[in-house]
C-alpha cells in the first residue's frame, strides 16, 4: 500500500536567545517596539507536515508519497529525502517562490517569537490528487487553504480513504467547511486543543464526530491519546521517552504511526501504541527528521514500552 501525504514542506530556522525577552521589551513602549536579539545558537531543520510524516513512515518501512509545493531553494531538502528513500515525485517546485519557512527565536524561559512565510505552500492547490496512480490511502495535513479543500474533495471523488489531520490549519475553516471535511474523511486525527475547537465549530461532540467516520483520534501529549472507533473509546498510554529534548514534530511522527497501522491492518490498540512510541522517539531528539531506528530496534522498544510484542 502507498499513502499519498498532502501537506507542507518547510525549513525551520530555530534560534536561541541566551536571555529573556521580558528584559528587553518594555510594556509601556510596546507601541514603539524596535528590538534586536543576538542569537549565537542557530540551527536549520527540514520540516513541514508532509515531509515529517513521510520521513517517519519510511523509518517504519511504509511507502509514503509526499505531495507539496516548494520553492527554488528546495534543493538540499530534496536531496535529504532522496537519500533516505522518500519518493519526491509529487513535490512541485514553484518558480519565483521560496519554500515555506518558519523563523523561531526562543528565550531562556521557552518563550517564542515566530515569523512564518508560507511561500510556495500557498500554491498547493496546483497539485492534483487525481493524477497520482497507485495510492490506496490519503492524508490531508496542514497546507495552503485552497489545497486542503481541493485535495480532500479529490480523495473523496476517487474513493480513496482519507485521514484528515487539520492541525494548525484548523482555525482557517468555519463550522460548515469543517463539517464538509468530516463528510469526506474516513478517519480524523487532532490534538486535544484542536479536538475542542473542532467540536465547538461543528457543534458536534467527539462521539458524534466519531459516529460519522471510522475513527476520531485525539492526542493528549504526555497523557497519551484516545481513539473513538466502533462505539468504543480506546485509551492509548503514552510511551515514556528516553529524554524530553524537542516536542516539535511529535504529532507528525504519531500520524506516521497511524498510517503504518492503517496500511498494515492493525487493530486500534496496536496502531495507537505504534503511534505513541513514534512520538516518544521523536521527542528525545532535536529536529523533526534527525531520529532513526531499525525495525528490530523498534519492536524491542515496543515490547519494553507496552509489555507486548508487535
pLDDT recorded at residue 144: 97
Max CA distance (Å), the chain? 60
Residue 17 covered by a domain: no
Mean pLDDT for the stretch of residues 172-195: 97
CATH of the domain at 291: 3.40.1190.20
> Hunting for cell 485521514 — which residue is that?
163
Mean pLDDT for the stretch of residues 193-210: 97
pLDDT 10s digits, 255-293: 999 999 999 999 999 999 999 999 999 999 988 999 999
Sheet of strand 215-219: strand arrangement: 91-93, 63-70, 2-6, 137-140, 162-164, 187-191, 215-219, 225-229, 232-236
Residue 25 covered by a domain: no
Residue 270 covered by a domain: yes
With cut-offs at 50, 70 and 90, classify the pLDDT of residue 104. Answer: confident
| 32 pLDDT higher than 80 | no
Domain total for the chain? 1
What number of CA atoms fall less than 13 Å from residue 21's CA on the CB side?
14
Domain range holding 284?
2-9+47-99+119-306
| 18 pLDDT higher than 80 | yes
With cut-offs at 50, 70 and 90, classify the pLDDT of residue 27. Answer: confident
Residue 38 covered by a domain: no
Residue 114 covered by a domain: no
Cβ atoms of residues 52 and 74 within 8 Å: no
pLDDT 10s digits, 105-164: 888 887 888 899 999 999 999 999 999 999 999 999 999 999 999 999 999 999 999 999
pLDDT recorded at residue 127: 98
**Three-class SS string for 234-261?**
EEECCCCCCCCCCCCCHHHHHHHHHHHH
* CB neighbour list of residue 205: distance below 8 Å, 6 or more residues apart: 199
With cut-offs at 50, 70 and 90, classify the pLDDT of residue 182. Answer: very high
Enter the C-alpha cell of residue 46: 527540514
Residue 30 covered by a domain: no
Amino acid at each position: 500500500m502507498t499513502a499519498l501525504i498532502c501537506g507542507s514542506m518547510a525549513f525551520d530556522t530555530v534560534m536561541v536567545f541566551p536571555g529573556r525577552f521580558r528584559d528587553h521589551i518594555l510594556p509601556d513602549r510596546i507601541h514603539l517596539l524596535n528590538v534586536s536579539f543576538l542569537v549565537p545558537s542557530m540551527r536549520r531543520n527540514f520540516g513541514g507536515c508532509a515531509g515529517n510524516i513521510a520521513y517517519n513512515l519510511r523509518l517504519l518501512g511504509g511507502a509514503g508519497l509526499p505531495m507539496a509545493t516548494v520553492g527554488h531553494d528546495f534543493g538540499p531538502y530534496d536531496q535529504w529525502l532522496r537519500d533516505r528513500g522518500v519518493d519526491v515525485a509529487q513535490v512541485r517546485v514553484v518558480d519565483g517562490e521560496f519554500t515555506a519557512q518558519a523563523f523561531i527565536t526562543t528565550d531562556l524561559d521557552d518563550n517564542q517569537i515566530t515569523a512564518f512565510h508560507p511561500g510556495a505552500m500557498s500554491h498547493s492547490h496546483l497539485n492534483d490528487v487525481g493524477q497520482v496512480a497507485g495510492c490506496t490511502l490519503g492524508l490531508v495535513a496542514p497546507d495552503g487553504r485552497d489545497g486542503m479543500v481541493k485535495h480532500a474533495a479529490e480523495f473523496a471523488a476517487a474513493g480513496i480513504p482519507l485521514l484528515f489531520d487539520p492541525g494548525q490549519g484548523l482555525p482557517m475553516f468555519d463550522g460548515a467547511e469543517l463539517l464538509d471535511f468530516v463528510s469526506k474523511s474516513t478517519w480524523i486525527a487532532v490534538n486535544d486543543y484542536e479536538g475542542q475547537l473542532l467540536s465547538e465549530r461543528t457543534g458536534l461532540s467527539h462521539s458524534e464526530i466519531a459516529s460519522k467516520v471510522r475513527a476520531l483520534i485525539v492526542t493528549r501529549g504526555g497523557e497519551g491519546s484516545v481513539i473513538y472507533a466502533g462505539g468504543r473509546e480506546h485509551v492509548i498510554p503514552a510511551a515514556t521517552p528516553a529524554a524530553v529534548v524537542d516536542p516539535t514534530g511529535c504529532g507528525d511522527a504519531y500520524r506516521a504511526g497511524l498510517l503504518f497501522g492503517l496500511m498494515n491492518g492493525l487493530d486500534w490498540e496496536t496502531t495507537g501504541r505504534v503511534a505513541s512510541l513514534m512520538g516518544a522517539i521523536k521527542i528525545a531528539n532535536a529536529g523533526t527528521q534527525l531520529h532513526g531506528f531499525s525495525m528490530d530496534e523498534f519492536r524491542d522498544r515496543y515490547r519494553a514500552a507496552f509489555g507486548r510484542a508487535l
